[in-house]
Amino acid sequence: MGLVEEEEIDNKTLADIIHIEGVELNELEKESINYLSVKLSLYNFHSFPFTSNTPKIQVYLEDRMYYIEIIDGEIYIKEGETREGYY
């Protein structure tokens, strides 16, 4: 993978720029989100007392949506949006 000039990047999506054989973009994105989650120590978030509501963080990467859910200190990354009306 060679270097890409800044002007070439402006109108392209991440999928247009990254071409790694055998690696799917959403897996690369999930790994990046997981890395950032650990660096931010999101595993320290806990459920709200007396409820079953788990902490969730919505992440947008270009045209894709993911959310991070923390359950008992474990980080889970899922595609899509959190349940509507859950804010």
Taking residue 33's Cβ as centre, other Cβ atoms within 10 Å add up to: 18
Task: Determine how β-strand 64-71 pairs with β-strand 74-79.
Answer: antiparallel
Taking residue 68's Cβ as centre, other Cβ atoms within 10 Å add up to: 21
In a domain, 30, yes or no: yes
The region, left, alpha or beta by phi > 0 then psi within -120 to 50, assigned to residue 68 is beta
Each residue's pLDDT tens digit, 9-18 = 555 555 555 5
Q: What is the mean pLDDT of residues 24-45?
A: 86
Looking at residue 4, what is its pLDDT?
47
In a domain, 46, yes or no: yes
**Prediction pTM value:** 0.64
In a domain, 84, yes or no: no
Those residues whose C-beta lies under 8 Å from the C-beta of residue 19, and which sit 6 or more positions away, are 1
In a domain, 40, yes or no: yes
In a domain, 39, yes or no: yes
Domain count, the chain: 1
In a domain, 85, yes or no: no
In a domain, 43, yes or no: yes
Domain extent for 61: 6-79
Sign, CA torsion 56/76/65/14: positive
Looking at residue 83, what is its pLDDT?
75
For the cut 80, the answer to whether the pLDDT of residue 85 exceeds it is no
Grade residue 48 by pLDDT with cuts at 50, 70 and 90: confident
